[in-house]
Structure 1
Amino acid sequence: MQAGIFKVCLVVVTTIVNHPLLFPNDDAAFPTTDDLIIQKLREREENLKIQQLELEQLLSRQEAAPENEVNTEDKEVEDGSQWDLWSTVSMVIFLVIEVWRQDFKDNNSHEPSKEEDDQLFIGNCCHGVSLPNKTMLAIFHDQYIRVTTHDAARTKEFVEGFADDLLEALRSLCNRDADMEVEDSICIGSMYENWRVNKPLICDLLVPFAPPEPYHFKCQPWVTDTSIDPDKQSYGTILVCGPDDKSSGCVCDKKKLGEDMLCLLHNPNNKKIENKDVNLLCSKNTNYLDTDQVMKWFQTAVTKAWSRISHKYEFELTFNNLDTPGALRVKFKSGKVISFNITPVVQYEDSDLYFISHFPPEVSSSVHWTLSFAVYERRFLKDFAKNLPDNSCHLGCLQIMTFLHSKQCHLTGPTGLTTYHLKTVLLHLLLNCPYSDWGNVMLEDRLRDVFKNLEKCLLEKKLHHFMVGNPKLPESVKLPEHFRVAEPLNLFRSFVLNRELYQKTLSMFYEMLKNATVVINEYSLHLPVGTINKNSTLSTPLCSQPA
């Protein structure tokens, strides 16, 4: 009798512990609305009830058995005692396992996986986002952005003239047989693409340089090298080749010229120069061009050049940042300040690609140079604008985006999202929309499209480089073919490797959208009555929950 009661209690305890309604955390990892899961739980409950019924029937049969079976009773008692012992041990083990499983699931319920955490984070931020309406955007663009771009024209004119004078003085001080040869500056960036809006207005200029004859640079880009890690393919190295290196490609290296014939590019007298007389700016114990050595050389050369022409100007010239080669700052007696960057670069073969030093600042090795497509990007925007309607809104979209991004970064700090990423998203959208969709009256719609595309790229952690591996790139850009057919570069690769940076960037992006209307109102003057309170809420959510 006692053994039968014990068995019934064991089944009851088992049923209670495994009942899904009493212990919902047991299956918390599964969706409660899934019909298949619920059906399985019900089947398990029915099986437990059947087992309980069978044990009760067994108990009834044992109680009804005749008491005169004395010979078999002792054996049954002995077997029952053994069974009760093993049942007790099994129940204890089972209960310990159940308690441990409940505690394990309770602890794990507070530590969601990376994917679940990202989805919950995204789901909490993509609702209720609104953007300024068409009227507000037009007023803001006219009253703030157009005034800023008017000042940019005068700044560019001054910087270009002064840079030419400074570089000319630098050339006059160089020894052509032993010093680096500096070429004319190349204007790039937002100021010369006419979408710079954030102050201070900073002009960016590239200054190509080359070693004295008979030395030459051999650029080694990693974009087309599949053996390089994807996060390093936007870099490359620059090998400094000496006079005995036969890889210069000149015909005089491959054919023996007559005694009365000279190469117009290579003067044989220059081969007498010894290495100790030439500062080739190489990294220690290597033949690779070193960015730190280039920075020291260029800053010294600029200082000497300014000392030669400073008497002609009535302003002060200082270095704005000693960690970059040519970040200069002009301060007039009136107190006005103009900042600009002159960056030494190395040309890649005969193209408009340039290896740029000290960009971005997180490059770990001083022999790694970043490949810049800035000249091609400026050419694309200039050629593409010829087919757009008058007063097109494509640059206005980029200006508003960079303005909002800058203001939000002042509040939350810098993240993994840069103005170059914003520009890349716009460039991709230009190729995907008809020319007629970029009229001035379509500013609100195109701004909405750019934000939606940027959000999609952030959620997928994938933004392809506009130039590298882009089959839609027009032939008029004249990008070298091996860059056009290369594998696309993912500019959001850092988000895949750094989850904390990704969440911080995503949070900043949604905060920027939520604050867009308020920020634009603060910088818009004399708004008409009723305009401020009329926001253009997105008709559809900016994003959907990822699968």
Structure 2
Amino acid sequence: SNEEDASEEEDNNENWSDDSRKLSNRILWPMKTLARRSRVVEQLVAELLQVCQKRLSKSFFPELQPAIGVGSAFEGWGPDEEEADYYMLMPLKPPRGHSFHLELGDMGYMLARDSRIRVETQCTCTEKDILCFVHTSEDELWENQDPSLLHTMCTNSYLDAEKIALWFQDLVKSVWAAVPQSHHYSLKVLPSCWFCRMWLTPVSGRTLSVVIMFGVQQDNSDIYLSTMPVNTLDPSTTWPQTCVVAEAKFFRFVAQNTQPGSVHLKCLYLCTSILEGTTISATTMKRVVMHYLHQSWLQKDMAIWSKRDFVKLLQDILSFLLCCLEINRMDHFFMGNDSLPEEIILPPDFRTGEKVNVFQRLQEHPHAHASALSAICEL
């Protein structure tokens, strides 16, 4: 396809040095495989969702919305396409007669981790085919209508992530036979208290590991309260804030605004691979490349990603990271950033708030700081 051709443009760019060509041609890049498998996963999950929605059409369980591909595999730079997990965030909306109220936790110096989602019943006296949960007696509700979300998926009136995950796992297993492509794939649902991990194995081919996590949208933005990242010590009514949808949208924006042959994904893939096993995580490296891409866009110079020498770009990215480590500061990409493309929709307090230093913890852990500096200096 054109998308794959663009991501796998001929490496022998006339502006590249011999070293850049040799380096690029020696590496087995994952972009084509990730793009192809991502499309397969999207289609399978879309079919699964349609069957689930049909099953739940008259229920009072959460309304499942189209899943959004997020993370390194869908963004196109996953470190190992053979072992990749294909993460998708499935937004939830309240069923009829219910409403969600997001209670954000303490933002601190990072995203709010201890947020909760309060569920309330709403008056539906004017609607047909539903008894009002607010103004109908409990006995009548018990005899004539399925229980409300408060009685099935909540703990003390708050949406319970563990109950959601276990319910969805059971739902997937019960409807899989009705999915159009089910006869092409064997399904194994792995137990989890926070998400739904599915192993989909085709008749011939490699198993796809698909992880469905759940989220509730904040203020019609690209920020969600989600069941991940997981802290097993948190109560199951905890829904941490996450930027994964905003990050995926940013990478799609970059893909639409770079020229054919852009190597930004190759740079990110190679940097994360080189630094694997060091104190510099793939998440940190991703933030560095996102900042560099953002600066290129602000300076109207996105062409550098397809014209500048490959090795030179790698050196520039690692030099930027070294600078950040030396001054112990790198700003959070979304919080306090008022110059992002308008396609990225953020809550008002994100754009207007103060900048947040994601390297703040390094100041509190000198050994980790020294180890990170050492890893970059060795390169």
TM bucket (normalised to shorter chain) is 0.7 to 0.9
CA distance in 1, matches of 2:238, 2:78: 28
CA distance in 2, matches of 1:293, 1:333: 32
Residue 233 of structure 1, CA deviation: 3.2
- Aligned twin of 1:451: 318
Select which of 202, 209, 221 maps to 2:85.
202
Q: Is the 8 A contact 1:320 1:339 kept in 2?
A: no
Going by fraction, where is helix more abundant, 1 or 2? 1
Could you say if the C-alpha distance between residues 186 and 236 of structure 1 is closer, same or farther in structure 2, counting changes exceeding 3 Å? same
Task: Map 1:413-428; keep pairs closer than 5 Å.
Answer: 415=279, 417-428=280-291
Amino acid at match of 1:357: T
Deviates more, 1:488-497 or 1:275-284: 275-284
Residue 506 of structure 1, CA deviation: 4.5
Q: Aligned pair 1:352/2:222, yes or no?
A: yes
- Aligned twin of 2:350: 483
Q: Is the 8 A contact 1:357 1:369 kept in 2?
A: yes
Could you say if the C-alpha distance between residues 422 and 314 of structure 1 is closer, same or farther in structure 2, counting changes exceeding 3 Å? same
Residue 335 of structure 1, CA deviation: 5.8
- Aligned twin of 2:186: 316
Residue 159 of structure 1, CA deviation: 0.9
Q: Aligned pair 1:326/2:193, yes or no?
A: no
- Aligned twin of 1:242: 121
Task: Map 1:134-533; keep pairs closer than 5 Å.
Answer: 135-146=18-29, 148-174=30-56, 176-199=58-81, 200-222=83-105, 229-230=108-109, 233=112, 236-243=115-122, 269=132, 271=134, 272=136, 277-280=147-150, 284=155, 286-309=156-179, 312-320=182-190, 322-334=192-204, 336-361=206-231, 364-406=234-276, 409=277, 415=279, 417-433=280-296, 434=299, 435=301, 436-497=303-364, 499=365, 503-504=367-368, 506-507=370-371, 510-511=374-375, 514=378
CA distance in 1, matches of 2:352, 2:219: 18
- Aligned twin of 1:63: none
**SS of the residue 2:46 aligns to:** helix
The Cα RMSD (Å) is: 3.4
Could you say if the C-alpha distance between residues 237 and 458 of structure 1 is closer, same or farther in structure 2, counting changes exceeding 3 Å? farther
CA distance in 1, matches of 2:336, 2:137: 43
Could you say if the C-alpha distance between residues 385 and 321 of structure 1 is closer, same or farther in structure 2, counting changes exceeding 3 Å? same
CA distance in 2, matches of 1:231, 1:351: 18
- Aligned twin of 1:19: none
- Aligned twin of 2:10: none
Residue 363 of structure 1, CA deviation: 6.2
Could you say if the C-alpha distance between residues 340 and 189 of structure 1 is closer, same or farther in structure 2, counting changes exceeding 3 Å? same
CA distance in 2, matches of 1:155, 1:229: 38
Could you say if the C-alpha distance between residues 461 and 299 of structure 1 is closer, same or farther in structure 2, counting changes exceeding 3 Å? farther
Q: What does the per-residue CA deviation read over 1:246-276, in whole Å, with 9 as the maximum and x for residues that have no partner? A: xxxxxx9xxxxxx9xx579x97756548587
Residue 330 of structure 1, CA deviation: 1.6
CA distance in 2, matches of 1:154, 1:296: 30
**SS of the residue 1:369 aligns to:** coil
Residue 371 of structure 1, CA deviation: 2.0
Amino acid at match of 1:448: Q
Q: Give the greater-gyration-radius structure (CA).
A: 1
**SS of the residue 1:313 aligns to:** helix
- Aligned twin of 2:9: none
Residue 217 of structure 1, CA deviation: 0.8
Residue 155 of structure 1, CA deviation: 0.9
Q: What does the per-residue CA deviation read over 1:289-329, in whole Å, with 9 as the maximum and x for residues that have no partner? A: 22222222222222222254499414321135635411211
Q: Is the 8 A contact 1:220 1:237 kept in 2?
A: yes
Task: Map 1:1-12; keep pairs closer than 5 Å.
Answer: none
Could you say if the C-alpha distance between residues 181 and 233 of structure 1 is closer, same or farther in structure 2, counting changes exceeding 3 Å? closer
CA distance in 2, matches of 1:308, 1:205: 21
CA distance in 2, matches of 1:306, 1:195: 30
CA distance in 2, matches of 1:504, 1:381: 29
Q: TM-score, normalised to structure 1's length?
A: 0.56
Q: What does the per-residue CA deviation read over 1:395-451, in whole Å, with 9 as the maximum and x for residues that have no partner? A: 221111122233xx2xx6xx4x43222111112122334414333433222222221
- Aligned twin of 1:25: none
Deviating 4+ runs (over 6 angstroms): none
Amino acid at match of 1:454: L
Q: What does the per-residue CA deviation read over 1:172-215, in whole Å, with 9 as the maximum and x for residues that have no partner? A: 33263322221221222223322234231332211112232211
CA distance in 2, matches of 1:300, 1:338: 19
Q: Is the 8 A contact 2:35 2:74 kept in 1?
A: no
Residue 387 of structure 1, CA deviation: 4.3
CA distance in 2, matches of 1:154, 1:386: 18
Q: Is the 8 A contact 2:162 2:193 kept in 1?
A: no
CA distance in 2, matches of 1:485, 1:309: 45
Could you say if the C-alpha distance between residues 339 and 390 of structure 1 is closer, same or farther in structure 2, counting changes exceeding 3 Å? same
CA distance in 2, matches of 1:432, 1:296: 43
Q: What does the per-residue CA deviation read over 1:56-110, in whole Å, with 9 as the maximum and x for residues that have no partner? A: xxxxxxxxxxxxxxxxxxxxxxxxxxxxxxxxxxxxxxxxxxxxxxxxxxxxxxx
**SS of the residue 1:190 aligns to:** helix
**SS of the residue 2:27 aligns to:** helix
Q: Is the 8 A contact 2:112 2:241 kept in 1?
A: no
**SS of the residue 1:330 aligns to:** strand
Percent identity between matched residues is 23
CA distance in 1, matches of 2:357, 2:230: 16
Residue 465 of structure 1, CA deviation: 1.4
Q: What does the per-residue CA deviation read over 1:351-387, in whole Å, with 9 as the maximum and x for residues that have no partner? A: 2322110314466333332222233333333334444
